[in-house]
């Protein structure tokens, strides 16, 4: 979820503002978990493929299947779609099947050959008719062109007309899409890192957007009020709003990207309970809040006791925010995608505020 920076020093930050910011941050991070977990699963599958005794071309082909499966599923999860790609086994004609619930709604054949001419022939076999035909990035247009010039296969073994219409460099269905991949990238040892970086980039974009909207809105309320009361000129207020919005966007990007990388890592090593639970996003949001407090300690705006006390609140609040985000997203799911996002953010804010209030009350009772 997006981590948003407060426009004030931590020592001056109001309790309500802090709770809203961190709650929204954890809720935004929650939106990154399922898509990042799909990439993490892809990393695990990629490791398995590379452990086999295949030659480089075969490994590249299987790696491409893993890549398209993982990036398709990540995109579907990010968009709140219910379609899923799964690699086939047992010699099935299709390399990937696309399902929606229990129903198979599509199939894809993936052919990574050295040249477009070889890819055209390989993907045009009649047993692939009706499937999505996916080739390496940079070859799709040439494959469609070559297939269109081949005409009818006199032996009846290939359907070039079908290939000329359907060859593409990605798997697509119901608004979800895998990412194009070149043949060289498929054979590269850095393919896994590329998949993680791509997902982290998408998460950062979502985090930056959410951070700018929420952090910027809060700054606008505060600074417009200051301008109306005469505490600031309108020019000063406008400049502060721009600065705060930029900081909120940057903080949101960092926190969401950190959530994505942590989740993918958990999924890769088999910690499914963590990759599908609240830990990565809560840790990312909390870690940045604690880092801000430690910086305030260094600058003398907070003392050690205050930092320790606030750390307890950050951790407890993040847990409450995650639970609230999950509940809010479930409640908002009656309105597909948009309702889930808004419900999650509102739930995260309320959960964070409730948890912090409970911790504060307990600390006062023990004082």
Quote the CA–CA distance of 78 and 36 in Å, as a whole number.
9
Burial 68-88 (b: 16+ CB within 10 A, else e): bbbbbbbbbbbebbebbbebe
pLDDT beyond 60 at 30: yes
Question: Which candidate, 290, 210, 283, places its Cα nearest to that of 253?
Answer: 210
pLDDT at 317: 56
CB-count exposure of residue 190 (10 Å: 0-12, 13-18, 19+): exposed
Contact 239, 219 (CB under 8 A): no
* Length of the chain as a residue count: 367
**Strand, helix or coil for residue 103:** strand
pLDDT at 156: 77
Quote the CA–CA distance of 323 and 119 in Å, as a whole number.
49
Average pLDDT on 331-351 reads 51
Determine what percent of the chain is predicted with pLDDT higher than 70.
62
Alpha carbon 252 to its chain centroid, in Å, reads: 13
Give the highest mean pLDDT range of 189-198, 242-251, 314-323: 189-198
Question: Which candidate, 139, 147, 132, 131, places its Cα nearest to that of 112?
Answer: 139
**Strand, helix or coil for residue 85:** strand
Query: Which residue bears the tokens 């004030």?
Result: 8
* pTM, full prediction: 0.70
**Strand, helix or coil for residue 78:** helix
Other CB atoms within 10 A of residue 267 CB: 24
Instruction: With cut-offs at 50, 70 and 90, classify the pLDDT of residue 155.
Output: confident
Average pLDDT on 113-121 reads 95
Better-predicted residue by pLDDT, 31 or 91: 91
For the chain, what is the mean pLDDT?
76
Instruction: With cut-offs at 50, 70 and 90, classify the pLDDT of residue 309.
Output: low
Quote the CA–CA distance of 314 and 304 in Å, as a whole number.
15
Average pLDDT on 137-143 reads 96
Virtual torsion, Cα 178, 186, 44, 173, nearest 10 deg: 10
Alpha carbon 316 to its chain centroid, in Å, reads: 24
Alpha carbon 304 to its chain centroid, in Å, reads: 36
Alpha carbon 209 to its chain centroid, in Å, reads: 13
Instruction: With cut-offs at 50, 70 and 90, classify the pLDDT of residue 310.
Output: low
Q: Which phi-psi region, left, alpha or beta, contains residue 130 (left: φ > 0; alpha: ψ -120 to 50)?
A: left
Contact 321, 285 (CB under 8 A): yes
Report domain extents, the chain. 15-34+195-366, 82-174
Query: Which residue bears the tokens 């003398």?
Result: 300
Contact 257, 207 (CB under 8 A): yes
Specify which residues 135 forms β-bridges with. Answer: 111
Helices (H), the chain: 15-30, 33-51, 56-78, 116-123, 140-150, 160-166, 183-187, 191-228, 234-268, 272-275, 279-299, 304-332, 338-366
């Amino acid at each position: 979820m997006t981590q948003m920076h407060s426009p004030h020093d931590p020592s001056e930050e109001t309790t309500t503002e802090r709770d809203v910011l961190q709650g929204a941050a954890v809720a935004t991070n929650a939106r990154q978990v399922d898509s990042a977990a799909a990439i993490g699963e892809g990393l695990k599958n990629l490791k398995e493929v590379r452990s086999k005794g295949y030659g480089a071309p075969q490994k590249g082909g299987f790696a491409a299947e893993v890549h398209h499966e993982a990036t398709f599923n990540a995109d579907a999860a990010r968009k709140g779609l219910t379609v899923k790609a799964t690699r086939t086994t047992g010699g099935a004609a299709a390399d990937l099947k696309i399902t929606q619930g229990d129903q198979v709604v599509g199939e894809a054949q993936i052919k990574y050959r050295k040249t477009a001419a070889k890819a055209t022939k390989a993907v045009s076999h009649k047993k692939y008719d009706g499937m999505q035909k996916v080739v390496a990035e940079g070859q799709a247009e040439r494959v469609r062109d070559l297939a269109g010039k081949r005409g009818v296969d006199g032996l009846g073994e290939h359907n070039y007309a079908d290939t000329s219409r359907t060859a593409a460099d990605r798997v697509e269905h119901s608004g979800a899409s895998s990412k194009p991949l070149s043949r060289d990238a498929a054979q590269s040892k850095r393919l896994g890192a590329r998949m993680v970086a791509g997902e982290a980039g998408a998460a950062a974009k979502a985090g930056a957007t959410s951070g700018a909207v929420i952090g910027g809105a809060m700054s606008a309320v505060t600074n417009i009020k200051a301008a109306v009361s005469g505490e600031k000129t309108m020019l000063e207020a406008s400049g502060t709003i721009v600065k705060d919005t930029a900081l909120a966007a940057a903080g949101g990007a960092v926190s969401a990207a950190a959530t994505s990388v942590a989740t993918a890592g958990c999924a890769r090593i088999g910690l499914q309970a963590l990759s599908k639970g609240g830990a990565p996003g809560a840790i990312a949001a909390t870690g940045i809040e604690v880092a801000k407090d430690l910086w305030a300690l260094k600058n003398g705006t907070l003392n050690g006791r205050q930092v320790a006390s606030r750390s307890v609140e950050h951790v407890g609040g993040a847990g409450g925010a995650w639970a609230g985000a999950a509940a809010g997203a479930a409640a908002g799911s009656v309105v597909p995608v948009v309702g889930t996002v808004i419900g999650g953010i509102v739930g995260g804010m309320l959960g964070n505020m409730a948890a912090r209030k409970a911790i504060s009350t307990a600390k006062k009772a023990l004082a």
